[in-house]
Structure 1
């Protein structure tokens, strides 16, 4: 929705309104007059082609379609700021710099643990995380825009991360589990609803959409049908919709752990199928940099991430 021509300051304008809930407060944060800020917001909406904010509500709020992409907006904004910082810093940290491409779901769970573990070892390594879907992660590796990738794979998917040019190492395990807002029940079996399960779907072209189609939905059993109530490629959005009670969502257990622990979400693993996942580090074969070699050696250690 946001397009490739969005400017960094536009993304930060959107985030400022979302965070302050007020055009006037956002304008002050952005060091603009309220009239100038309002004109720029209109310019952004004209560029995108849709209204991004619900002005009928006080405080001003992002429309649901924009809110669902809030995390992506923050990631794009952060990535652009980091790019500017990298260009300004030049090659001062080149020898100790590594770029890790991470699947979106892993960017908020396993990837930070890797960075934390490397820092705790006292290594002077600058790590840059790039969040992408599975195909984009492989593309970043093959085009040498990333040195390593942290990816999900099903336990029988060795062919995804092996070949003439790539090598992989097991980093950890996870599970794709069904969750729903605590207190809500699955629909009862009846003649009118023979076991229909409302759920949040993933697009078929993304990794978790493939896992759902091959590993989860066929296991629902006779008399049960999965009925998509919404669709998103972002697991964070699926998790939030499940927490709002929209429908069941299958999300990585590592992503849902905090909400399960707080009681905000409940796992439905006794009633619905789950799927084990492998977390793997992947890199191009060849001659690694010092930073890449250090991190790869760490990832290969059994139990390195606990």
Structure 2
């Protein structure tokens, strides 16, 4: 039995697709399939029903799903406790944050969170939303900083994770002025986020019932908002970008609104943590952020 098998099981149960789960786990699909088969052989039962449309959990798979999640978290917590006893990483606070928030929001926010009491050591892991979620699920970081929209469900269930709103942002459909002047607004080339992007989930939800209204066709995609902003600045299309990321470009007039404010998407910035107990340093930080939020 290997820990990675349980992590693979959790990923496949979440994504319902061998291809998407393998991508999330950063391994090839054949290798991922072999590890799932190894887990099923070790369990002695089938855990997934495989169909051309994807996978679903068997009754046995559904039964162990929550326990698999708890087991992986306990093992990572055990490792963390051992390191603390040995004097390693006891006071290091680790965060996972999406790329756009790593560049803009995190430095300012962490200074405010310190509030005159500097944190001894901070380690920031910057990745796509999908990558950050996996770091949190695997117990490699105690905190995730990400954009949220109340109407877009998170794969991080309330049973295992809690969060608090620590800031606000807004997605604005932005385009280079020259491109807007030479193209009908509802037929602009579209710069889209990939499935690995949390912002992509939010934009897709907003546009789901409005595809015919805008008639936008994706010409380019990336999970990085900064890449989409660079493409927009080059006049390659319209992209929904966080105001926190594009504030200077908007102020300079290099990027302008493609559509009116009714197409803006309000966002919340959330700090997410597991329900399970964290290290003393992490619990103290969570309490500090909670106190500050309540005072605000």
TM-score (norm 1): 0.61
Partner residue in 1 for 2:201? 210
1:201 aligns with 2:192: yes
Distance 1:271 1:187 in 2: 21
- Structure 1 residue 236: Cα displacement: 0.4
Which of 129, 146, 150 is residue 145 of structure 2 equivalent to? 150
Partner residue in 1 for 2:273? 283
1:260 aligns with 2:255: no
For residue 282 of structure 1, give the secondary structure of its aligned residue in structure 2: strand
In structure 2, the gaps of 5 or more residues are 1-85
- Structure 1 residue 113: Cα displacement: 2.0
1:251 aligns with 2:251: no
Conserved in 2, the CA contact under 8 Å of 1:154 and 1:278? yes
Which of 227, 235, 250 is residue 217 of structure 2 equivalent to? 227
Partner residue in 2 for 1:103? 98
In proportion to residue count, which structure has more helix?
2
When residues 110 and 271 of structure 1 are mapped into structure 2, their CA distance, relative to the original with a 3 A threshold, is closer
TM-score (norm 2): 0.63
When residues 242 and 99 of structure 1 are mapped into structure 2, their CA distance, relative to the original with a 3 A threshold, is same
Alignment of 1:1-306 (within 5 A): 94-157=89-152, 159-185=154-180, 189=184, 195-216=186-207, 218-219=209-210, 222=213, 224-270=214-260, 273-301=263-291
- Structure 1 residue 140: Cα displacement: 1.1
1:176-232 C-alpha deviation (Å, 9 max, x unpaired): 11111234425555xxxx94221111223432332232213533653x310222221
When residues 255 and 177 of structure 1 are mapped into structure 2, their CA distance, relative to the original with a 3 A threshold, is same
Distance 1:272 1:229 in 2: 24
- Structure 1 residue 249: Cα displacement: 1.2
When residues 292 and 272 of structure 1 are mapped into structure 2, their CA distance, relative to the original with a 3 A threshold, is same
CA RMSD of aligned residues (A): 2.8
May I ask how many residue pairs the two structures share in their alignment? 211
Conserved in 2, the CA contact under 8 Å of 1:178 and 1:268? yes
Conserved in 1, the CA contact under 8 Å of 2:168 and 2:269? yes
